[in-house]
Structure 1
Amino acid sequence: MSFWENFWDIFWWFFTACVFFAYLFGVFAIIGDLFRDHKLNGWWKAVWILFLCFLPFVTLLVYLAARGDGMAERSVQRAGREQEAADSYIRRVSTGSPAEEISKAKALLDAGTISPEEFERIKSRVLV
């Protein structure tokens, strides 16, 4: 066997593996989207999964063509909810109570680190 015959065997093996993993990614993305979609009836979800089992490539392409826009919208909504939850958690953990924040700002004011205007700005921001 020559080097080029082995090279093309390796190339086709990698190409096949990439196509297979792309297919698996698509199937799991569709299954995740089906269960994330609360507007779709349970029977329709079962039909989509049944078709994914018996006509996988065709069903994958039809699903992406027919429901791709909704899939993207649900994904964006989910990402927004997750970002909002993470932001609220960070705010809750990183800041103390309003009284603690005002007392810290008062200590900075008394030490001369901040001006009275900055103290009032911090106080109004904390109390909002």
Structure 2
Amino acid sequence: MLATFAVGQVLWSMLWFFLFVMWIMLIFSIIGDLFRDHETSGGMKVLWIILLFVLPFLGAFLYLIIRGKGMAERSMAQAKAQDAAVREYVQAAAGTGSGAAELQRLADLKASGAITDEEFAKMKAKVIG
């Protein structure tokens, strides 16, 4: 026999489910931020995690109030580092043009003194590949 639920009960259940998912995401983002922070000592990280598990609401709200600004800064720094890595990879994969043009640019840099003979040799080997 199928259970019958009113529309209001379904909506109420969905609301609580989504709030629970948001809560879990918040806890994971706080724990991720704790591991991302290199300035906080290991003992303080352990205390924060214990507080999150013993008093989860109080621990999460205290963490957001006390360390929220730093959390945002660390998140932005990680995003910028990932963006730079992706850009570097795409640039390396796509190349900068023809090999002859790249060698000419390297020769010009060497002639102007911007790079040394060793740097020129390394970059030339990379272009020739």
TM-score band, normalised by shorter chain: 0.7 to 0.9
Pair 1:67–1:127, CA change in 2 (3 A): farther
- In the other structure, the counterpart of 2:25 is 25
1:124: Cα distance to partner? Answer: 4.9
State the superposition RMSD in angstroms.
Answer: 2.7
Q: Which portions of structure 1, spanning 4 or more consecutive aligned residues, are displaced by more than 4 angstroms?
A: 123-128
Distance in 2 of aligned mates of 1:99 and 1:127: 16
1:11: Cα distance to partner? Answer: 1.6
Distance in 2 of aligned mates of 1:86 and 1:64: 30
Structure 2, unmatched stretches of 5+, are: 110-129
Superposition map of 1:104-115 within 5 A:
none
- In the other structure, the counterpart of 1:110 is none
- In the other structure, the counterpart of 2:36 is 36
2:68 partner letter: G
- In the other structure, the counterpart of 2:124 is none
**Higher deviation after alignment, 34-43 or 10-19:** 10-19
2:73 partner letter: E
Distance in 2 of aligned mates of 1:126 and 1:28: 51
Pair 1:11–1:83, CA change in 2 (3 A): same
For the 8 Å contact 1:33–1:71, the answer to whether it is kept is yes
For the 8 Å contact 1:102–1:126, the answer to whether it is kept is no
**TM-score normalised by structure 1 residue count:** 0.73
Structure 1, unmatched stretches of 5+, are: 104-122
1:85 partner letter: A
Higher radius of gyration, 1 or 2:
1
- In the other structure, the counterpart of 2:65 is 65
User: Once the two structures are superposed, what CA deviation does each residue of 1:88-107 show, in whole Å capped at 9, x if it has no partner?
Assistant: 111111116x771518xxxx
Distance in 1 of aligned mates of 2:68 and 2:30: 9
- In the other structure, the counterpart of 1:115 is none
Aligned length: 106
1:89 partner letter: Y
Distance in 2 of aligned mates of 1:126 and 1:72: 44
User: Once the two structures are superposed, what CA deviation does each residue of 1:66-118 show, in whole Å capped at 9, x if it has no partner?
Assistant: 1110000000000101111111111111116x771518xxxxxxxxxxxxxxx
**Higher deviation after alignment, 85-94 or 33-42:** 85-94
- In the other structure, the counterpart of 2:101 is 102
**TM-score normalised by structure 2 residue count:** 0.72
